[in-house]
Amino acid sequence: MTSSATTPRPWWRGCTIYQIYPRSFQDASGDGVGDLLGIVHRLPHVAALGVDAVWVSPFFASPMKDFGYDVADYRHVDPIFGTLADFDALVATAHALGLRVLIDLVLSHTSDRHPWFRESRANRANPRADWYVWADPRPDGTPPNNWLAVFGGPAWQWDSRRCQYYLHNFLAAQPDLNFHNPEVQAALLDVARFWLDRGVDGFRLDTINFYVHDRALRDNPPLPPELRSDRIAPAVNPYNHQRHLYDRNRPETLDFLRRLRAVMEPSGAAMLGEVGDAQHGLEILGEYTSGGDKAQMCYAFEFLSPAPLTAAYVARTLSALAAAAPDGWACWAFSNHDVMRHLTRWGLTDAAARAHVTLLAMLRGSLCLYQGEELGLGEAELAFEDLRDPYGIEFWPMFRGRDGCRTPMVWQAGALNAGFSAGPTWLPIPREHLRHAVDAAEADPAAILHHYRRVLAFRRVHPALVAGDMDGLAAARDVLSFLREGGGERLFCAINLGEEAAVVTLPPGRWEAVGAEINGGAPGPDGAVHLGPWQPCFLVAA
């Protein structure tokens, strides 16, 4: 049996992933919408950051009611994004640059335009009649239970063809697949095989804990007001008023994940699961990534929520994860395509933004960056008439939706549409983003882009940071500190997450300071480290 000391580290363990939202990354066709060949053109920028992989959000054939998260054909590229040949070019280019490719598989639901659903809704006796979640109404004609949709309103839509309701956890145009049907699971595993055969290195699994519903369709119990959270849905959404015991988080999900892991294992491909749960996200993360037979890594919403990352909050979260998932593996992110960009969400100054990416690189787990954060982009302020996101349109003005984090990338400050497209763009490009364009950042040694590169390079050369253990977690006022150990290295990490100077007392032993290139502090004559506002320190055991 091979010992852990000689077993190669799996590529995904401690990797850094860069998320690309195709509609907004680069438009090669000139129609104002980003596409796959645009991604090919800009991949050198991603590789130059020092990341290990890209996650490409959905590009499948879709009516775009939810901008690709409503899939009408899992095996075809939507013409707006290009062709399968373009996708093959993306994979080949990424691999040539040393980047692995994860694609976004949306398995919990399809579009109502998918041929599977069109057949299923035709009548109650066709071969796919049970491929979706259908239910008779209550005697008074109302939906079969009290489940709510994330995007607002009941999670049930009446269908006059079958005279039944179907389940949709999101839009009514996104009917939920019935994972209790083994034929559905087999079809989805075939979808995974199709893309693995095209060379992908893994999947980001959308809403991984929504796959399976309660067979008995039991009502969800109410959630007391003091336990409600806006991590998953905005505070104005009544979705937060329920304890979601029966519409998601069902134990049968684990069996499907094991089946999918078995399909992926021979190729070395990895799963990154999105866990959408406001109360038990860390526990589910641990459950889904434990045992070496399910997802390799998952992310919950603790660091994607509005709650600022104080030292105490980070320490509580990491401690809770260690208790819930001692052998699990997290993937940490501060921004993505579903939440307000973290610079705006937390009101970060430039110094604070630099400290936050440094903190991210300190954490035990894998990392995910969202396109544009390396440029210091904040959330775009859009007028109601510019919105495209159905979520924002539904809950405007108290919740403005997700368009503000999805505006096009800015590549050239002085070019038409900031170098994103030769045509009118699908979302407007904020004027305030232009000064952060890639060409301006490349020319400015003080730009945050260079700090991102230095931080990722620093993490890459320290094995304790990439995949080591974490111990000695502590939070004292604004300072978070812990030890990371692995790969023959012991590293003391501390970071000041506040505006006031702080003093850090070192653990016993001889320590040498590293990380000066990313503003790391060093011990003074008194043997302590004096940290300025938002300053980190990294010390290697001598």
- Known catalytic residues are 206, 274
Structure tokens at 505: 């007392």
Q: How many CB atoms lie within 10 A of CB 451?
A: 21
Identify the CA nearest to 492 among candidates 461, 517, 523, 519. Answer: 523
Q: In whole angstroms, what is the distance from residue 247 CA to residue 217 CA?
A: 8
Sign of CA dihedral 29, 32, 38, 42: positive
| Residues 205, 505: Cα–Cα separation, whole Å | 42
Strand arrangement of the beta sheet that strand 164-167 belongs to: 134-135, 164-167, 156-159
Backbone φ and ψ of 527, nearest 5°: 80, -5
Q: Is 330 exposed, middle or buried (0-12, 13-18, 19+ CB in 10 A)?
A: buried
- What's the rounded Cα separation, in Å, for the pair 169 and 210? 8
Neighbours of 242 (CB within 10 A): 18
Give all strands (DSSP E) within 300-350, no chain letters: 331-332
Phi first, then psi: what are they for 221, rounded to 5°? -75, 160
| Distance from C-alpha of 242 to C-alpha of 146, rounded to nearest angstrom | 9
Q: How far is CA 412 from CA 427, 484, 540, in A?
A: 17, 39, 40
Token look-up 């598989």 returns 105
Residue 318 token pair: 């990491």
Q: What is the 3-state secondary structure (H, E, C) of 158-179?
A: EECCCCEEEECCCCCCCCEECC
Q: Is 429 helix (H, G, I), strand (E, B) or coil?
A: coil
C-alpha span between 49 and 43 (Å, rounded): 10
Residue 275, CA distances (Å) to 294, 297, 330, 433 in order: 14, 10, 11, 31
CB-CB contact of 71 with 54 (8 Å): no
Tokens of 108: 């919990």
For the chain, what is the total number of helices (H) and then of strands (E)?
13, 20
Cα of first residue to Cα of last residue in the chain, in angstroms, is 32
- 539: its two tokens: 């010390």
> How many CB atoms within 10 Å of residue 207?
20
Whole-angstrom distance, CA of residue 344 vs CA of residue 266:
42
Name the phi and psi angles at 485, rounded to 5: -140, 130
